[in-house]
Amino acid sequence: MSNDRKTKDLKLVHVLWTIIAAAMLVGVAWGVMQTNIIHQGEAIEKKVDKGVFQIHLDAQKQQTKSIVESMDKGFDRIDKRLENIENK
SS3 per-residue string spanning the chain: CCHHHHHHHHHHHHHHHHHHHHHHHHHHHHHHHHHHHHHHHHHHHHHCCHHHHHHHHHHHHHHHHHHHHHHHHHHHHHHHHHHHHHHC
Q: What is the pLDDT of residue 36?
A: 84
| Mean pLDDT across the chain | 82
Q: How many structural domains is the chain composed of?
A: 2
Kindly state whether residues 10 and 35 are assigned to the same domain: yes
pLDDT tens digits for range 53-64:
788 888 888 988
Kindly state whether residues 1 and 34 are assigned to the same domain: yes
Domain assignment of residue 63, given as a range: 49-88
pLDDT tens digits for range 66-75:
888 888 888 7
Please give the average per-residue pLDDT across 25-39, as a whole number. 87
Kindly state whether residues 43 and 60 are assigned to the same domain: no
Asked if the model's pLDDT at residue 47 lies above 60, the reply is: yes
Does the global pTM surpass 0.75?
Answer: no
Query: What's the rounded Cα separation, in Å, for the pair 66 and 58?
Result: 12
Kindly state whether residues 43 and 53 are assigned to the same domain: no
Kindly state whether residues 43 and 84 are assigned to the same domain: no
